[in-house]
Amino acid sequence: MSEQSIASARASVMVYDDVQKKWIPSGSSSGLSKVHIFQHQINNSFRVVGRKLQDHEVVINCAIIKGLKYNQATNTFHQWRDNKQVYGLNFSNKEDADNFARAMFHALDVLSNAIARPVAPPPPPQPAPPPQPPTTVYQQASVTTGYQQANGQYDEEATYSTGSIGSARGIYHQVSPGGPQRIDLSPNTHSHSRTLTREDAAQIQERRMSQQNQMISSPNASSPQGTGGPW
């Protein structure tokens, strides 16, 4: 069952008659009853229930509410009031009266604390933090690195192209019409190359002709067929 007895005692259940101004037995007749204090395990509520020992007639069934005034008028007679009437219990001995009083005050304390200190609701769940975007420092570093790579590649290609063009220009030079077509003047370096003039071409031609004449006039020459025109 959902209700459990936390105290019981033998007592005569009485009610106060406002008309007659006196205590009268509760129920159809007088006599001892078995009186319990029940606690509801789920609702945590309390009530007093009493039945006659003789015929099990219910002589009291009242709720124990917060703020109820329980009065121990004597060692064996206790009383309290609800919204309808005043109840009295005439216990058969002091020990039953004390045990019943302790259970009644315990119930009143539980009711008082349950209302004064309600159970706090659980805190709401904390929202998940939003995802953090990539930091600005990382983005700037990526952009800078990409620019440096692209710029470095461009500089390297520009240097290579310039050097190739400079090499091509430094190897051969066009001479004026009438002279040799092309003469290589820079076998090793580009810094000493220059363009031949007509006078330079004539001097070279004269040297070659002089060398050929020397070869013809030499006693070791095998035949006079080497006296041809210029190259």
Question: What pLDDT digit, counting tens, does each position of 141-184 carry?
Answer: 444 444 444 444 444 433 343 344 444 344 444 444 554 445 45
Distance CA 17, CA 24 (A): 7
Q: Among 80-84, 115-119, 152-156, where is mean pLDDT lowest?
A: 152-156
> Dihedrals φ, ψ of 110, to 5°?
-65, -45
**Taking all residues of the chain, what is their mean pLDDT, rounded to a whole number?**
74
Taking phi over 0 as left and psi of -120 to 50 as alpha, with beta for the rest, 213 belongs to alpha
Q: Among 37-51, 108-122, 183-197, 211-225, where is mean pLDDT lowest?
A: 183-197
Q: Tell me the per-residue pLDDT of 88-101, one tens digit each, with 9 for 90 and over.
A: 999 999 999 999 99
More confident residue, 72 or 172: 72
Task: Summarize the confidence of residues 29-56 as an average pLDDT.
Answer: 94
Task: Report residue 67 as tokens.
Answer: 């703020």
Q: Please report, for residues 7, 48, 53, 207, 223, the alpha-carbon distance to residue 4 in angstroms, rounded to integers and kept in the order given.
A: 9, 12, 20, 140, 149
Domain ranges, ordered by start, for the chain = 3-116, 166-208
Answer whether residue 57 shows pLDDT above 90. yes
Topology of domain 3-116, CATH: PH-domain like (2.30.29)
With 0.75 as the threshold, say if the pTM is over it: no
Task: Summarize the confidence of residues 59-70 as an average pLDDT.
Answer: 95
